Chain A
Amino acid sequence: MLAKVLSFALSGLTGFPVLVEVDVYKGLPAYETVGLPDAAVKESKERVRSAINNSGFEYPVRRITVNLAPADLRKEGPLYDLPIAVGLLCASGQAEKDYLKKLVMFGELSLNGDVRPVSGVLPMVIDAYEKGYRYVVLPAENAREASYVAGMKIIPVKNLSEVAAILNKKIQPQVFENQNVSPAPGQQKYDVDFADIKGQAHAKRAMEIAAAGGHNVLLVGSPGTGKSMLARAIPGILPDMNFAEALEVTKIHSVAGELKNSQDGIIYRRPFRSPHHSSTSVALMGGGSRIMPGEISLAHNGVLFLDELPEFSRDAREALRQPMEDGVVSISRANAKVTYPSNFMLVASMNPCPCGYFGSPDRKCKCSPTQISNYINKISGPFLDRMDMNVEMSNIKYDEMTSRAAGERSADVKKRVNAARAVQRERYAELPIHCNAQLNAATLKKYVKVGKEAQEFLKNVFEKLKLSPRSYVRILMVSRTIADLAGSGDVLLEHIAEAVQYRTLDRKYWGVSYE
């Protein structure tokens, strides 16, 4: 007898329907799975057998063929355990098939018949809804995550017997209702508040500008000046995500399996990802045999923090350039090509020199000028080009750090950031961009109006400080953001003068060589 159960699979962030066909027929007892299953799908045979036996059903001692259609796409992961088990029960006459046409089903089984959570539920449920399905049977732990798809009836299940009982109409399916469908955005808690950071007003101001204009930042400073803490505080001053953005973030985290057992449901918190500097380019970009999102996609709509930037492998650093430009990352492997979104704000930090104390007033730096310039020049010019701001941390003494009064709270800074973002959205309404960091040479000319006096000043700055040509565009972009924060329509001399402050690596004492 044949039974067909509907399930879903993922390619990147898009789901596609998979029909699980189970045929039980006469012959020597055997079990075969076809339809490009990976190892985890093949292994489901053992889990399914034990789960059926331990749930009080009878495992059919006959010839069994399981087909996953369409047969030309690779199926990965343990989420077909439940559909296969249900198919077996239906095909062997232990459960009724009436509901099967309407239901989408997935879930991993444990040997005693319990249903376990799987990853990638949210994007699959979204696409199931778009394809016209209205009922989904899934592990109880995944119910919250799926419940944000309005209109979808979620039927959470705890074990195989429960599914069988529903199919046999012995119990009424309980549709999951999320009590808390719209978590209030803006109520998110972040690790570090701006008020927690003592001193470093210069760098904090730079962070505010970076957040307001979506600029990438490189922090340069001695150990212990608070670079990491500052980076951790940034998500807290970025504008709140809207529903679409939050949904996208949640999808990515769902695919990466980071939502299992989570109570969060949809993610409204801006992600903060801080991969270790030993991370490979695959860890950052995404990949693996099942192509999973990497750190840059997990940081989508949030902050990617690269601590100790020069310690990252050259490969890893250079691989970042393309996704930074495009906002998406495409990963090609022999069997598939997947695209994940990767629109993140890059915050990187580095020491000023190999020993870390160049410029420190109370510790002596042991490095020669050549060592310093070699260290800084590890970061390639094109990479530096993508960092709009490079900010030098001030060295502060310990007593100064503790004696200072608390600074502004993140919430207050965020208000100004939100206002500046609103100005930018309005200005770029007819363009496909939404913040100053996305300007290019052509749009810059059109939207960044610089007065004559300011233009003259900028020219002098270039000659005197011997700035590299590439910093020209960056300074104008950042000046535009400073002007937006100040509520000024035109970019004035004072805005340009402040923007020059955030180009420390152009200073000659670093010995940065520009070609």
Chain B
Amino acid sequence: MCPMNDIDAAERYWVWLSSIDGVFAKWFYILQSFYIEPQKVWEHAGDILSDIPRFPPQVAGAVLKARNDGYMNILFDSIEKKGLNVTTAVSADYPYSLHDLPDPPPVLYYKGILPDIWERSVSIVGTRRPTRNGEKFAREIASEIAAQDVLVVSGMARGIDTAAHEGALDAKGATIAVLGCSAETVYPKENRALYDRIKENGAVLSEFRPDTPPIAENFPQRNRIIAAISGATIVSEGGVKSGARITADLALSLGRQVFAIPCDPKSEVSALPISLLKSGASLLSETADLMEAMDWKPHIRKNKKENKKNLSLDFFQERIYNSLLKGDLTPEQLSDRLKVPIGSVGSALTIMEMMDVVERMPGNLYSIK
């Protein structure tokens, strides 16, 4: 962890330069290839920038305009006020795996704690509108691998992302959310509680300067971090042209292992995993597939889910449990099949829900947890 005031003077200029509109990561590294540090830009911006071939004049103008103490103070004040931590590409705690990118983000803002080791990590990506099964499976996988001390990375979007984070957190594992807006912005809004949980059990990070809204063009840019930061990428459901596809392609081009989860071939959201599987992605149907392919040693941790099967269900609850094993059902269907009054079914379902055996889903459907 690196509190704000810990970064050295030279790094302050990294933060400054990266915060200016139009200065993309790419330009940072072009400058570096000329052995020009951000501090130099601050000192001699006028001379230096005009020497760089094809450096856009309006960006150079913006840099010159921002070259004053007022700008610097406002920037660092807002970082401090929002409680953001900062790490730069030259800091010790910077996620080193990102250096595999041609344009690693020069600066990362984050809340929470960054881990020391990034190899044993997996990104889980997928559609924002998953099927019920797809979401459930993503949650389970995230839970299981997090229970084996694998770091789960995702983008905190709706759907698969949320399921992945929640799964990892439920197994008391660590998880990292990489945002397409600034690190202090909660998007989507309904994930406020999740945001707080991630912050406590991992980190929420972003390369965007404070007050950046979640605009569309930020997301593909963000996806390159998700692809690069972890050792492997798991693709759940998604369309052929989706953010998940961008992440998967990037991960492949970086030489990362890509796993795809097989699913219903007729479903629209299966297009991406199926096309990935066809082009040679590894198939993932259980946690072992990942652990073996990555050659990760299983860390056995106590999993509270293990003792579920030993729960003392009475005869009737046992029958409900067995019916639900075959698929999700409504109380009506259970009452019909088991020939039991609907009131008793409802009563038993609530009790089983309290025992963490079943859960209720929209549409009055019950499913094994």
Contacts and interface: CB of A to CB of B under 8 A. Distances in A.
A364 B190 CA distance: 20
A501 interface: yes
B331 A500 contact: no
A364 B363 CA distance: 12
Given A373-B190, A497-B347, A392 B342 contact: no
A427 interface: no
A201 interface: yes
B362 A498 contact: no
A360 B343 contact: no
B267 to A, nearest CB: 11
Contacts of A460: 354
A468 to B, nearest CB: 16
Interface in B318-334: 330-332
Contact of A394 (B332, B348, B349, B350): B332
B361 A509 contact: yes
B197 interface: no
A242 interface: no
Given A358-B362, A394-B364, A497 B350 contact: yes
Interface residues of A, number: 40
Interface of A is mostly: helix
Interface string A459-497: 011001100000000000000001000000000011101
B189 interface: yes
Contact of A202 (B188, B346, B354): B346
A464 B344 CA distance: 21
Nearest to B158: A369
B365 A359 contact: yes
B212 interface: no
Contacts of B67: none
A461 B354 contact: yes
B331 A498 contact: no
A497 B351 contact: yes
A494 B363 contact: no
Given A359-B365, A370-B189, A507-B360, A501 B331 contact: yes
A487 B15 CA distance: 72
B362 A352 contact: yes
Given A202-B330, A202-B342, A393 B347 contact: no
Contacts of B351: 457, 493-494, 497
Contacts of A465: 353
A192 B287 CA distance: 54
Nearest to B346: A501
Most B CB contacts (10 A, CB to CB) among A204, A392, A498 go to A498
Contacts of A19: none
A222 B361 CA distance: 14
B332 A200 contact: yes
A504 interface: yes
B335 interface: yes
Nearest to B330: A394
A494 B344 contact: yes
A201 B364 contact: no
A359 B363 CA distance: 4
A511 B344 contact: no
20 contacts: A201-B335, A201-B336, A202-B364, A205-B342, A352-B362, A359-B363, A394-B331, A394-B363, A395-B364, A404-B336, A457-B351, A460-B354, A464-B354, A494-B347, A497-B347, A497-B351, A498-B346, A498-B347, A501-B331, A504-B364
